[in-house]
Amino acid sequence: MKNIALFFLSFILLTSCKKSTAVSNNVVLEAQTLTDVSYGNDAAQKMDVYLPAGRSTDSTKLLILVHGGAWVAGDKTDFTPYVSMLQQRLPGYAIANINYRLATTTANHFPTQENDMKAAVDFLLQKSGEYHIAKKLVLMGASSGGHLVTLQAYKYASPSIRAVVNFFGPVDMVDLYNSTTVPQNQLGFQILIGGTPVTNPSIYQQSSPINFVTAQAPPTIIFHGAMDALVPVSQATALKNKLQSFGVVNEIYIYPNEGHTIWPMAIMEDTFNKISLFLKTYVQ
């Protein structure tokens, strides 16, 4: 009888501790916004982190946003106006909105931006316990940000990356170089990447996400404007075909009247609705 009594006493105490911890966590884990969090030593290596209330290391996924700007311009504030729209549709997600070092004529040439993307992802995975979020990532980028998230997802294959959202990002750097009709753009590529596809084929190959697609690539949703004069829509269709050839889950949406610019709010709301459905379907 004494042993039975001790067993029930231990059970009650253990249950009480678990309940107390849960209540404590619910109180402590309020919604929190962390601004300009450093993930490296450079002043540009910063991010804003939006942590939802009631988050947990079991269920709270993380959406990482990466801005565009041709690798030489742009800022995380470009995505800031859309954070609340994403939070409304994905209330169970934390969000990280990152900056990275921008290229100039003399510094931060490729693969600086690729390295920063990887460093940011590694930092957030290491912080998952402290932030009380799961190691389940979705990467979303626009233009050059779309290039960086697809390169990260395919080249540095990780089970933590559960899906990719690509807004008109280039995926084949050789094709992008050869297809441009603006000499200044080709010169920019030569500075950013280093040489031409003929003089430096290795760096163009290594910086092209489409070259790293495998059957293990995460589900990918692609948005592109048919009127895009900077990144041809053929880049999007080529990626879809490559993903399709490996049996990777993918969706593509081409907006016939949109170019390579900020899209109207109605279009953005449509894309966010599609993203929400895609992630609810394919990210567990």
List beta partners, residue 93: 61
pLDDT confidence of residue 187: 87
**Gap between the Cα atoms of 208 and 238, Å rounded:** 12
Angle formed by the axes of helices 144-155 and 112-126, nearest 10°: 60
Residues 6+ apart with CB under 8 A from 69: 75, 78, 102, 143, 144, 145
Residue spans per domain, the chain: 27-172+214-282
pLDDT mean by block of 10 residues, the chain; 284 residues? 39 36 54 98 98 97 97 97 98 98 95 98 98 98 98 97 98 95 84 92 97 98 97 98 98 98 95 98 96
Residues 6+ apart with CB under 8 A from 118: 152, 156
First to last CA, the chain: 47
pTM of the model: 0.90
Beta strands in the chain (DSSP E): 32-38, 46-51, 61-66, 93-98, 137-142, 161-167, 220-225, 250-255
3-state secondary structure of 258: coil
Rounded (5°) CA angle 264-265-267: 70
**Gap between the Cα atoms of 159 and 154, Å rounded:** 11
pLDDT confidence of residue 21: 31
pLDDT confidence of residue 167: 98
**Gap between the Cα atoms of 120 and 3, Å rounded:** 53
pLDDT confidence of residue 28: 63
Q: Does domain 27-172+214-282 have CATH number 3.40.50.1820?
A: yes
